[in-house]
Structure 1
Amino acid sequence: MENKNNIVKLPAFKDVEGPVLMLNMLKFKDRKYYFETYLPAFRKVTETLGIQDVKLRLACNVAANIVAPENEVWDAILLVEYPSAQAFKTIAESDAYRDMADQHRLTATADLRLYMTTPFAL
Structure 2
Amino acid sequence: MANTNAEHYLGDLEAATKVIPADQPYVMMNLMKFKPHATYSADYQGPKLGAAPGREAYIQYKNMFVQRAGEMGLDVSIVFLGKAHTQIVAVPEEGESWDVVLLVKFASWAAFKSVLQDEKYNREIQPHRVAALQDFRSFSVTEMSDF
* TM tier relative to shorter chain: 0.7 to 0.9
Q: Which has the larger radius of gyration?
A: 2
The one of 83, 90, 97 equivalent to 1:61 is 83
Kindly provide the amino acid, as one letter, of the partner of residue 84 in structure 2. V
1:43 is displaced (CA, Å) by 1.5
Whether the 8 Å CA contact 1:28–1:109 is kept in 2: the answer is yes
Q: CA deviation at 1:68?
A: 3.6
Aligned-partner Cα distance in 2 for 1:45–1:63:
31
Q: For residues 48 and 20 of structure 1, what CA distance do their matches in structure 2 show?
A: 19
Q: Partners of 2:144 and 2:31 in 1: how far apart?
A: 22
CA RMSD of aligned residues (A): 1.7
Correspondent of 1:21 among 1, 21, 27: 27
Q: Secondary structure at the match of 2:29?
A: strand
Return the offset for 1:76: 0.8
State the 1:70 CA deviation. 4.2
Q: Is the 8 A contact 1:5 1:110 kept in 2?
A: no
Write the distance in 2 (CA, Å) between the matches of 1:118 and 1:8.
18
Residue type at the aligned position of 2:144: F
Report the residue type matching 1:13 in the other structure. Answer: T
* 1:23-80, Cα deviation, whole Å (9 max, x unpaired): 0110111112212x111111222123222x2000000111111214242211111000
Q: Residue 48 of structure 1 aligns with which residue?
A: 71
Map 1:61-100; keep pairs closer than 5 Å: 61-66=83-88, 67-71=90-94, 72-100=96-124
Rounded to whole Å, the distance in 2 between the matches of 1:93 and 1:9 is: 12
Q: CA deviation at 1:97?
A: 0.9
| Native 8 Å contact 1:91 1:97 kept in 2 | yes
TM-score by length of 2: 0.72
The CA deviation at 1:8 is: 5.8
Q: TM-score, normalised by structure 1?
A: 0.86
Which deviates more from structure 2 when the two are superposed, residues 6-15 or residues 70-79? Answer: 6-15
Structure 2 distance, partners of 1:39, 1:68, is: 30
Q: Identity over the aligned pairs, expressed in percent?
A: 31
**3-state DSSP of counterpart to 1:56:** strand
